[in-house]
Chains A and B, each alone.
Chain A
């Protein structure tokens, strides 16, 4: 409950800041961006993040689960290691590298966000399955469940909350990284942030940063609710007891 109060006050603060700045007459020698422009860039920003995540999730989750299967254990090191390496490249470099590889604009930016968002999902999904208590799997096998049944009825439900946490982290991180997309002509809220930096007007930068933060908070909150909803009843009871 307290957690929610904090989130909602932060969200209110971000939106309040945006409204306050947008209603100003002049900032230095500049006029602030209009509501229409902020809305347009927010829309573009959200679209970039959602498309990237919608590609990351169906690729990342199965790939990580595959790496935990007995026959494919060897895959784990290259997959997780590769994703780790991907994350260690500065996000700005990933965005910049897209220009010679794929050109500029919306889709190259989405690809950069895809690379950047992959690691949290891979790592969480991998850890989620691997950290399931072997005794539970053993018990399921003892009850005569087949391997497919164990995966569907035991492992997946138990792993789902942790996998969803990976999706949440990935999404929130990608909302921030997507601000760099403006550098390669993909637009988004980064355009407003960079405009503020370019004309040395912190308030303009804030006019782009506050809606970005609001977007991250909102998406994080929604995904957290989904995470809770997906948690099996048994696990919830355990969490409440402890």
Chain B
């Protein structure tokens, strides 16, 4: 009997640890911020959390979520604020197809307008465009004189596809990934020259010289660290992914000051929430590569990086 009780207690305790504090009623001035499961999201989540805490809110952080779960949390009202990407919202949450050529401003406006109907208010965007990109070492770029994806495509045609390329497995098979990119830029990578692996592996592959061209994301820390050349997407093939705070309309009605507080944060980045140009996007990507590098390379905690950024930009007191 005693063993039975101990066992049951152990199970209950374990469950209590595993199921995170369900069913607490929100107190006054209490909001929940969600973030996704990669570096840039950890940082932006912490920035929003610390800034709101400084302005008198009690903030819960629902960290490390997948895209679907974060959106689900927003829809269910469990999450009040998140920083989603314009491209993700347009194609995944709102179910549209990206039309090649639509720029950062257009996608932001479209998303802002349509998601308001769903009860989500998009605040000003940060133009860091964390989209798919391709990078090479500067030596390769100089040798073959390739600046843009069009140049790279021309090189592939000339070399009959025999230039090694590293992408994630996902990108290599997604219909809007490599297959569409090859069609759009009119080139083909020889099958034997494509390497695929997990997300971080393509960065290691490029860093170790296993490939000439590697897939990266716009704000990857490794770009800044190694000084890679990122090919300009000169035909706007890749959809823009600008990280943008969005708030549930109900919450914003209750606490309208949140809009100004978060727009203040956005205003510290290039473009300041006004419309984007390629230069602004490039600058903003650079800043985010640097922020991500502090976490991924200098191994600082995202809390610390976010805190330092807020202090440096006079948003909170040190």
Q: Which residues of A contact B (CB under 8 A)?
A: 29-31, 99, 103-105, 182-185, 187, 191, 194-195, 198-199, 204
Contact = CB atoms under 8 A, between A and B. Distances in A.
Given A99-B201, A105-B210, A185 B195 contact: yes
Contacts of A184: 197-198, 201
Contacts of A187: 196
Nearest to A103: B208
B175 A29 contact: yes
A29 B177 CA distance: 12
Nearest to A183: B198
A24 to B, nearest CB: 15
| Top 9 closest pairs, chain A to chain B, by CB | A198-B170, A185-B197, A183-B198, A195-B173, A185-B195, A194-B169, A29-B175, A195-B169, A184-B197
B174 interface: yes
A187 B197 CA distance: 8
Given A29-B175, A191-B169, A198-B169, A104 B196 contact: no
B170 A183 contact: no
B173 A199 contact: yes
Contacts of A99: 201, 204
Contacts of B198: 183-184, 194
Interface string B212-227: 0000000000000000
A185 B165 CA distance: 12
From A31, A99, A183, A185, residue with most partner B Cβ within 10 Å:
A185
27 contacts: A30-B174, A30-B175, A31-B175, A99-B201, A103-B210, A104-B201, A104-B204, A104-B210, A182-B169, A182-B196, A183-B198, A183-B201, A184-B197, A184-B198, A185-B195, A185-B196, A185-B205, A185-B210, A187-B196, A194-B169, A194-B170, A194-B198, A195-B172, A198-B169, A198-B170, A198-B173, A204-B173
Nearest to B211: A185
B210 A30 contact: no
B175 A185 contact: no
B166 interface: yes
Nearest to A201: B173
Contacts of B208: 103-104
Contacts of A104: 195, 197, 201, 204-205, 208, 210
A29 B204 CA distance: 30
A30 B170 CA distance: 12
B210 A198 contact: no
A203 to B, nearest CB: 13
A164 B172 CA distance: 40
A185 B195 CA distance: 6
A108 B201 CA distance: 13
Nearest to B172: A195
B173 A30 contact: yes
A194 B173 CA distance: 10
B168 interface: yes
Contacts of A185: 166, 195-197, 201, 205, 210
Nearest to A37: B191
Contacts of A103: 208, 210
A104 B195 CA distance: 10
B166 A195 contact: no
Interface string B140-177: 00000000000000000000000000101110111100
A31 B210 CA distance: 29
A187 B173 CA distance: 14
Contacts of A199: 170, 173-174
A29 B201 CA distance: 26
B174 to A, nearest CB: 6
Given A104-B195, A185-B201, A195-B172, 7 more contacts: A99-B201, A103-B208, A182-B169, A182-B197, A185-B166, A185-B197, A185-B205
B69 to A, nearest CB: 13
